[in-house]
Amino acid sequence: MTIRDNVSTKVAISDVTLDESIYPRENIDHKRVSIFAENLRDNIKFDPIEVQVHPKKEGQYRILDGVHRWNAHKEVGLTDIQVIIKDLKAIDPLLYAAKMAIGPKQLTEKETRSTARRAFQNNPRLTSSEIGRLIGRSRQTIANYIADLKAVRQIKLDQKIWRMNRLGIPQERIAMRLGETRDIIRNHLGKMLILTKSPNTDLSQGLTIPQVAAKHGWTEPMLWSWVLEGKSDQSRFKDLGWGLRTWDLWNFNDCDHRFGDEWPGRIPAQMIAHILFYFSNPNDLIFDPMAGGGVTADTSLALGRRCWSLDMEDRADNRPEIEPYHWDMTLNNWEDTILAGKEKPDLIIFDPPYFQKKADSYGENSIARMPRQEYLHFLDNFFRFLKNNTRKTTRLALINSDWRDFQSCPALEEETQNAILLTDYYKILEPAGWELTHIIQAPLSSERFNAIMVSAMQEKKILGVTSRYILLLKQKNS
């Protein structure tokens, strides 16, 4: 590691801050500050302190070395201070600060331990030798300091790899997503059976799935995927406690909280499970291009399907299986997505924002912020893209709701140009090469409307929307 020194310059004291997250010491030594202040009053010159540009506060610098000198300047009432602005490149600033602290006044054992642990938590790819070299301790000492953190990280990494592999994500994509080499991924995959050993023992001794999940840090869908292996779809429904709907009206009172995260616009896992049951086969590849809280991936695990997911929101730690991607109409680089490879999905489950509903809950560049024409134009392009980049046999399940601007408007006065109805979706799907095979009703819950709201709506002749549909489509022979 090389550090590029930059020249010394003067900056305002008020532009320099102490950032606790990169300060290796426990406390500031006030006696030392007073001595330095006395020296300053006697006109004794000090070396410049070292700072770096603050990564979060514009126009500010954070101290890498010289907290006591900086405090002394403030005590004396000086308004500026001589600094060297460092460019650390890839060097961890906490470790650099610790290295600089070794010279004048050694860090205590407690401070060294805490610095090593904090540095590892910030960047788990640092080796014990690298940390040791920078803060003046042996590799073995650092290894002891961080042994527990390393073990937890190892288990977490194993679990992420297990889940992503189970969902059929190729090794090179797992490696890229987790920032590891393919060799490391291969190596971990070779030891996956060991990972399931303790949960397995606990399950066979009668612990429930939530108990085992909590004990071993597994997610419940991962455990379901494991315990239901080899079972038929129907048995899986039974074990999961889901009644199987035989007709095309799928009413579900609530989301199943075991599957997917709290997420604006979250859909019930039971609904995804029914789509998977009727329109896919075990081990099929499912694609969810706007995956949100991950309910499709979780349900796919429980029903033994593989699943690739994308979303513009990146939650690398909790949801590594949802790969970050923003469908941007202006860029037109959609062909470079995970659909570029040879393997194509058997079924696409597409649950986009229902036009502007919940627009405030999604990111600024979400399609929910688009005006009506643009939103429909986006979907038009998107359906064509899906058609052209999948197989002839790929099916599409589009989940959507009628959108009418009904909130404070009597039914007779609603403006049709603001509405998007089921038929509007079909008007673009058909020319984009998709043929409708089923329309399934899966209504939204109306529980969010309380009695007072309902009576006010009735008073004004407002007609609310609880309709939600799943349109099932296959590719037209053209």
Ligand X SMILES: C[S@@+](CC[C@H](N)C(=O)[O-])C[C@H]1O[C@@H](n2cnc3c(N)ncnc32)[C@H](O)[C@@H]1O
Per the CB < 8 A criterion, the answer to whether 475 and 387 are in contact is: yes
Closest contact distance (angstroms) between CB of 92 and ligand X is 32
C-beta of 209 vs 297, nearer to ligand X: 297
Closest contact distance (angstroms) between CB of 96 and ligand X is 37
C-beta of 129 vs 318, nearer to ligand X: 318
What are the tokens at 218?
């597994």
C-beta of 266 vs 438, nearer to ligand X: 266
Closest contact distance (angstroms) between CB of 26 and ligand X is 42
Closest contact distance (angstroms) between CB of 219 and ligand X is 15
The residue type at 98: A
What are the tokens at 466?
């609880």
Burial class (CB in 10 A: 0-12, 13-18, 19+), 56: exposed
- CB proximity list for 451: less than 8 A, separation 6 or greater: none
Instruction: Find the Cα–Cα–Cα–Cα dihedral 449, 455, 456, 462, rounded to 10°.
Output: 80
Closest contact distance (angstroms) between CB of 423 and ligand X is 21
Backbone angles phi, psi at 371, to 5 degrees: -65, 165
Which DSSP letter does residue 4 get? B
C-beta of 84 vs 222, nearer to ligand X: 222
C-beta of 284 vs 298, nearer to ligand X: 298
Closest contact distance (angstroms) between CB of 204 and ligand X is 33
Per the CB < 8 A criterion, the answer to whether 399 and 354 are in contact is: no
Q: What angle, 0 to 180 degrees and rounded to 10, lies between the N-to-C axes of helices 93-102 and 128-135?
A: 40
Tally Cβ neighbours within 10 Å of residue 146: 20
What are the tokens at 157?
């990494």
C-beta of 65 vs 311, nearer to ligand X: 311
End-to-end CA distance of the chain: 60
- CB proximity list for 174: less than 8 A, separation 6 or greater: 161, 164, 165, 185
Closest contact distance (angstroms) between CB of 325 and ligand X is 6
Burial class (CB in 10 A: 0-12, 13-18, 19+), 88: middle
How many Å apart are CA 466 and CA 444, to the nearest integer?
A: 5
C-beta of 24 vs 292, nearer to ligand X: 292
- Of residues 375, 382, 383, 342, the one with CA closest to residue 359: 375
CA distances from 470 to 331, 350, 426 (A): 29, 10, 12
C-beta of 199 vs 292, nearer to ligand X: 292
Closest contact distance (angstroms) between CB of 467 and ligand X is 16
How many Å apart are CA 279 and CA 289, to the nearest integer?
A: 18
C-beta of 54 vs 357, nearer to ligand X: 357
Per the CB < 8 A criterion, the answer to whether 203 and 211 are in contact is: no
Closest contact distance (angstroms) between CB of 349 and ligand X is 8
Closest contact distance (angstroms) between CB of 220 and ligand X is 16
C-beta of 165 vs 270, nearer to ligand X: 270
CA contacts within 13 A on the Cβ side of 394: 25
Closest contact distance (angstroms) between CB of 399 and ligand X is 7
Residue nearest to ligand X (CB): 292
C-beta of 36 vs 362, nearer to ligand X: 362
How many Å apart are CA 396 and CA 379, to the nearest integer?
A: 13
Residue numbers at the binding site for ligand X (CB under 6 A): 260, 263, 265-267, 290, 292-293, 295, 311-313, 326-327, 351-353, 362-363, 366-367
